[in-house]
Amino acid sequence: MTRTLLPFTIFCVMLCFGVSAHSPQVSMFTLSYQDKQWRLEGNFSQAAVSSVLNQTIQELAQSDAQLEIYRKRLLAYLTLSISLQQKGQSLKLMNGHAKIGNHQTDIWFDVETIHEDQPLYIQISAFEEIEHHTHFFKVRSKTSARTILLKPKESYRAVIEISADGTIKQLADVDEYTEETNFPEPEDEHPYLLVLLGICLLFTLIGFQKTLRLMLRGW
Amino acid sequence: MRHLMLSCYSLFFCVACNDHDIASPDSDKTLQTPLPFNVEQLGAGALIGDVTQVDCELENGVQTRCHKLTFKGNMVEKGPFCPEHLDEVGGLGVYDGPTNPGLKAMDRTLFTSMENDGFDIVDDSGNIRIADASRLNDYSEDFAYCLDAPENEEIELTYLLPTLPVNRFKAKPIKMIEYIGFTFHGIPIDGPAPSVIEGPPEREGGNIPALDPCGGHVAPAGYYHWHMIPQAINDLLDTHEVTSTTCVKIEQSATAMIGWAKDGYPIYSKQDVEGKKPENLDECFGHRSVTAEFPEGVYHYHALNPKAPNTPVCLKGYPAKNALSFNIHYDPMR
In a domain, residue B220? The reply is: yes
In a domain, residue B233? The reply is: no
Neighbouring C-alpha atoms within 13 Å toward the C-beta of B33: 12
In a domain, residue B9? The reply is: no
One domain for residues B188 and B199: no
One domain for residues B176 and B49: yes
**Residues B282-288: what's their mean pLDDT?**
95
In a domain, residue B262? The reply is: yes
Write out pLDDT tens, residues A42-82. 988 888 888 888 776 666 656 677 788 888 999 999 999 99
In a domain, residue B304? The reply is: yes
Put simply, the answer to whether A108 touches B136 (Cβ < 8 Å) is no
Q: Which of B40, B95, B78, B50 is nearest to B223 (CA)?
A: B78
Interface membership of B178 toward A (CB under 8 Å): yes
Put simply, the answer to whether B220 touches A28 (Cβ < 8 Å) is yes
One domain for residues B163 and B293: yes
One domain for residues B264 and B122: no
Q: Which of A29-43, B131-145, B282-296, B307-321 has the lowest mean pLDDT?
A: B131-145
One domain for residues B187 and B323: yes
Write out pLDDT tens, residues B6-40. 444 343 333 333 333 334 434 555 555 456 555 55
Q: What is the nearest CA distance from B137 to chain A, expressed in angstroms? A: 7
What b-and-e string marks burial along A76-97, b requiring 16 or more CB atoms within 10 Å of the CB?
A: eebeeebbbbbeeeebebeebe
Write out pLDDT tens, residues B40-92. 566 657 889 888 899 999 999 999 999 999 999 999 999 999 999 999 999 99
Put simply, the answer to whether B8 touches A43 (Cβ < 8 Å) is no
Q: In chain A, positions 171-200, which contact chain B (CB-CB < 8 Å)? A: none
What's the number of domains chain B is made of? 2
Instruction: Quickly list DSSP for B122-157.
Output: B-TTSBBPEEEGGGGGGS-TTS--EEE----TTEEE
Structure-model confidence comparison of residues B333 and B330, the more confident one: B330
Write out pLDDT tens, residues A157-177. 999 999 999 899 888 767 666
**Residues B206-217: what's their mean pLDDT?**
92
Q: Which of B69, B61, B73 is nearest to B35 (CA)?
A: B69
In a domain, residue B121? The reply is: yes
DSSP alpha helix (H) spans, chain A: 2-18, 46-53, 64-81, 174-178, 191-218
Interface membership of A75 toward B (CB under 8 Å): no
Q: What is the nearest CA distance from A168 to chain B, expressed in angstroms? A: 10
One domain for residues B29 and B43: yes
In a domain, residue B238? The reply is: no
The ipTM estimated for the assembled molecules is 0.76
Point out the residues of chain A with pLDDT beneath 70. Answer: 1-24, 56-63, 102, 173, 175-195, 200, 212, 215-219
One domain for residues B284 and B314: yes
Q: Which residue segment(s) compose the domain that B137 sits in?
A: 92-151+195-226
One domain for residues B253 and B314: yes
One domain for residues B47 and B130: no
Q: In chain B, positions 16-75, which contact chain A (CB-CB < 8 Å)? A: 17-21
Write out pLDDT tens, residues B258-279. 999 999 999 999 999 999 999 9
One domain for residues B217 and B108: yes
In a domain, residue B63? The reply is: yes
